[in-house]
Structure 1
């Protein structure tokens, strides 16, 4: 049966009698003692002033571009997105009606019954890693566990994992190893916190969420208004510790609900544990957080599907997707962003001192949709030509030029503006060959030339003279002139749809030492 025709046929149900035995995680005393021992050994304590001594690693600031992956049981349904597990139990939602029409009543065929069809039988982790490397990614962050509570890694705290059910392999670990082999950095995301309430709709009518045989999967299914209790918080901490110790990710991404006050002491414990373990490994690591979950400076701030209004002094991250409509694979197709839109998003983020984490959503058979592969290959081709304006770059004096401004804040990427030839983003870099400023044009060039007003003599932004001007990827030198109101670059045969102007600055004047003057 193919992924495309499964919805018209009856899928096999999960055989409850063949499930592995449930795991007893009621007594966490010994595991918590081991966590405390790592924290007490230092160098970080589980106190905000200590954690604010953290500094983001150089490799992460230089990377600027990573790949995010949402894939899990929800892809079997492939209907509207990765929140299918919740929305299928909310009777007013389209997912509920779709589920009943396709699979039957929830008491007879629930979300858990999609697990046997989550086969990943064509999953090739090395092919995925090769694609991500061709896309120009420097690190890869797969979902270790989403809100649905199905672990994509080999966990000892639950029987509900890809290692024991569905594909029956540690798909997360296999991909992490492939990422290593491709010389990228492995990461992980945890969405476990939201599981406290995620499946609670199924507790409000006759559904399999009420079946005591599967309470260790669907539970807790508590009210959204309630704070998680200590046992759940301990389990959240220890599941995250399990990911840290089992896979050593160097990026650890969290979704929003950990900002709830009940998580506060556990967040501090988690950060201190992770940073201390990383110190033991000799690795530099990153925690990504949203809103106010972590104290300023203790981790790296993340904006979901959003943008900054200007340059942030500390490195930050935007997580977004190739699709405007969902993070995971959907059967009826996505409203995909254009490659130009995504490159503009990348340039805007980097110009403001950010890192872009771009998501794709694999299919339940373990393949990445062809359109998403095409998008990644196109981004990689652009980065092959223009990567020196992105990797290892830092913000310039100003981030942007031009009349078009993107919306600022979270969840604004679906309304991305259409940029024109007057819209630019700027980055700067220094290496052994000199100092450079890059102007990344967000719209296609017109009239065979590029006009950068911020580089004009009257703008006063370039405090040193221009030694040379080039266009990245161009076959040879280009003609240019610097005028009071702009730098004008004649493109010649250069591609007008992918222009990055590179300005080489004259060397800084070296002041002679006073003792040398009187030698």
Structure 2
């Protein structure tokens, strides 16, 4: 459990999907190292004016941070009841407020607000509850003018972090706000050596940018398979990180979803840290307590499996997870369908399957896996656990003619003599890039599952004018760094086409009139080309990146695509006459964002669980029509002088606000329908 606290706990508000602890940045904007986080959000400005108009300065929230309901033993007991082996608390967030009697500063909860050592009391309570205690410490500090200089590191960071281990008893020291500088700036190696001299068993994460990290942090998206090095998946119970009064209870993850994700994490070799936050009184909401205790009930019934379980040969799939404990195989039925695809005959004959209570279960085994004949009925939709007794897999057949080492062909060599109109047919296997497809030439594979072009550290394939790249998988561009795109394919010439390809990474579009059809990729980046056409394609993000980012140009079309997991799905900047139509989008903060664009048509898109479904930021003559939006914060935002916009025929369901126009010019809105908005009377909000 990660207990997220800051002075922003007092307003406890953010647009649904945005981080509550960034409230100061949302209403002020004049903060250091905001990185990818949006600042001066119009939603927050509207809320602050309505609720906290009498509060002029962020620090004026201190009198309201009373923590009268804080019970450290209740916090520690909740972590224990939830089946958690360790609890981490924010020692200092970006606002610089220290939650213990920290050395070298008066900006602590001992001097303002609760007037008690909240962190120290929670640490002692964790020790009583036999829960390992850790801290999260922000290197970023908006309140200290010395940040990020040498004096700040010498007089603030090192003494305070050492104090957290030496006097507060922290065994885990996680870093936050780490993106403003590297490990050399923080002298992380030196600091960690000092910590280990005090407490040899202390663990640090990789956010310190040190030469050695005990734990790798994973956020937003789980690894695709089993990871052997220690890692921790961090997620929030809701979409806003901590206590958010704007977030309805049903937006919090259900116990079933949490157990499903927890078992996936453990089956892949990791740990899960669940982020929650109290209110300004220091108590957790009932909905939070209920969910954690429901998860804890399942975990305690299967404590040995979670604590001692190790990955099997396969982690699982959408239906099941697999773990081993002392050479015993357990299958966890997360879908409730009784399907175990990885227990096919090739993995050994299944002798018996029994429930956690020891009751035998009937099943059928085929090459396609195991299917329970009659899955037990469950009173609650919590995953069932089965003990699987199976024989060892059969030995592989004897190879009379063993295959030699796989031969990789240089793709560039195959294209040396290719002329316009030629079709170069690739076979099954891996082709080595980088390679440039000559003008007018088609390179065609047998399908992404059979033909791969690997560019290693380079762009794998570059397309010339009028060339085509079809039915291949590509990878290249080297190791991805943070949210920055990694380019695997580049379109250099005009009129090139990519069709039926699986691009591991991003596509760069430099030439005009490019087409991407029925392909998959992390994203697309373009600056300048006209008439970009992207249709029937699928894009998957890592939570901090952008799906399609187009700057400039005219006549673009993005049609019938799917987006999942990006910070922003589609961002157009300074474009003219573009159409975004019939896409399915699920993103963190922005679905479709048009910045200083002219005549953008946003028509018939389905956008769910996204903070801002449509954001028209400046520009003129946008048409936002017939879009279906659900479970986000807003259906449409008009801001920064956006003028002559037409907003019509949209359906906004289970959002906080339908249409928010803030500092916008004239607009027309008609025939929009709002259903089950979480804030009454917020169908249309106009300000300031």
- 1:475 deviation in Å? 7.0
User: Which of 87, 90, 93 in structure 1 is aligned with 2:41?
Assistant: 93
Distance 2:136 2:115 in 1: 20
Q: Does 1:379 align with 2:318?
A: no
Hey, what does 2:205 align to over in structure 1?
A: 288
User: Which of 319, 323, 327 in structure 2 is aligned with 1:427?
Assistant: 323
RMSD of aligned C-alpha atoms?
A: 2.5
**SS at structure 1 position matched to 2:140:** helix
**Change in CA separation of 1:309 and 1:241 when aligned onto 2, cut-off 3 Å:** same
Hey, what does 1:277 align to over in structure 2?
A: 198
Question: How many aligned positions are there?
Answer: 373
**TM-score, normalised with respect to structure 1:** 0.67
**SS at structure 2 position matched to 1:396:** strand
For residues 447-487 of structure 1, what are the alpha-carbon distances to aligned partners after superposition, in whole Å with 9 as ceiling and x for unaligned? xxx13121121xx334xx65542222x47333344444323
User: Which of 292, 298, 314 in structure 1 is aligned with 2:213?
Assistant: 298
Structure 1: which 5+ runs fail to align? Answer: 1-66, 199-217, 223-227, 403-422, 509-519
- 1:100 deviation in Å? 4.3
For residues 295-326 of structure 1, what are the alpha-carbon distances to aligned partners after superposition, in whole Å with 9 as ceiling and x for unaligned? 3x5321101233111111112001111002x1
**SS at structure 1 position matched to 2:280:** coil
Hey, what does 1:103 align to over in structure 2?
A: 52
For residues 266-292 of structure 1, what are the alpha-carbon distances to aligned partners after superposition, in whole Å with 9 as ceiling and x for unaligned? 11112211222222xxxx2321224x8
User: Which of 463, 469, 479 in structure 1 is aligned with 2:353?
Assistant: 469
- 1:495 deviation in Å? 5.5
- 1:398 deviation in Å? 1.5
- 1:494 deviation in Å? 5.3
Distance 2:59 2:291 in 1: 32
Distance 1:475 1:502 in 2: 8
Q: Does 1:478 align with 2:361?
A: yes
Runs ≥4 residues deviating over 6 A: none
Distance 1:79 1:440 in 2: 37
**Change in CA separation of 1:118 and 1:323 when aligned onto 2, cut-off 3 Å:** same
User: Which of 210, 215, 232 in structure 1 is aligned with 2:152?
Assistant: 232
User: Which of 10, 27, 48 in structure 2 is aligned with 1:76?
Assistant: 10
Alignment of 1:158-177 (within 5 A): 158-177=105-124
Structure (1 or 2) with the greater strand fraction: 2
Hey, what does 2:333 align to over in structure 1?
A: 441
Hey, what does 1:491 align to over in structure 2?
A: 375
Hey, what does 1:323 align to over in structure 2?
A: 238
**TM-score, normalised with respect to structure 2:** 0.51
Q: Does 1:332 align with 2:246?
A: yes
Hey, what does 1:207 align to over in structure 2?
A: none
Distance 1:182 1:259 in 2: 36
Contact 1:318 1:356 in 2 (8 A): yes
For residues 334-361 of structure 1, what are the alpha-carbon distances to aligned partners after superposition, in whole Å with 9 as ceiling and x for unaligned? 4312222212221121111110000111
Alignment of 1:83-482 (within 5 A): 83-90=22-29, 92-94=40-42, 95-104=44-53, 109-191=56-138, 193-195=139-141, 198=142, 218-220=143-145, 228-234=148-154, 235-257=156-178, 260-261=181-182, 263-264=184-185, 266-279=187-200, 284-290=201-207, 293-295=209-211, 298-324=213-239, 326-334=240-248, 335-402=251-318, 423-430=319-326, 435-445=327-337, 450-457=338-345, 460-462=346-348, 466=350, 468-472=352-356, 474=357, 476-482=359-365
Hey, what does 1:23 align to over in structure 2?
A: none
- 1:244 deviation in Å? 1.3
Distance 1:338 1:358 in 2: 13
Distance 1:316 1:400 in 2: 18
- 1:373 deviation in Å? 0.7
Contact 2:316 2:342 in 1 (8 A): no
**SS at structure 2 position matched to 1:427:** strand
For residues 4-59 of structure 1, what are the alpha-carbon distances to aligned partners after superposition, in whole Å with 9 as ceiling and x for unaligned? xxxxxxxxxxxxxxxxxxxxxxxxxxxxxxxxxxxxxxxxxxxxxxxxxxxxxxxx
Structure (1 or 2) with the greater helix fraction: 1
- Greater Rg over alpha carbons, structure: 2
Contact 2:215 2:230 in 1 (8 A): yes
